[in-house]
Amino acid sequence: MLDVIFGKNAAVTEGEEKTLQCDITRFYPEKLAVTWLIQNGSNMVHAGLNQLFRVCTELAVHNPDGTYSIRSGITLHSSAVKHKEIRLICQVEHQTYKHLYNTSNATSFSDCTGMHQ
């Protein structure tokens, strides 16, 4: 059975970058597609089309039990979410699913003004 693990909600501090990862494990056969989507309200776009996001998906690793694992990450700068909240969606397509598998994470902007450094 294929497992998809995605982190909890995250905040991006002004002027910083944050990387979120989607780990997909125990799938077979090896062929699998990972797509990152950005949802802002009712608007949804492919993360690869936005210059404020960088997507990196590693090559699949062959596990000792014969299954495969893969990690995909998305890096975003605080300017991508300033003054709003967005939802990042890790979408997985594999032949063991009849439909696309989606898991998401709410990401918000965190302004550290007034915080002691």
Q: What is the pLDDT of residue 6?
A: 63
pLDDT (tens digit, 9 = 90+) per residue, 82-102?
657 788 888 999 998 887 777
Q: Are 43 and 50 in contact (CB under 8 A)?
A: no
By DSSP bridging, strand 10-13 and strand 101-110 are parallel
Mean pLDDT of the chain: 80
Is a pLDDT exceeding 80 seen at residue 43?
A: yes
Q: List alpha helices for 5-52, DSSP H.
A: none
The domains found in the chain, sorted by start residue, are: 3-109 (2.60.40.10)
Is the model's pTM score more than 0.95? no
- For range 42-48, the mean pLDDT: 86
Phi-psi region of 113 (alpha: psi -120 to 50; beta: other; left: phi over 0): beta
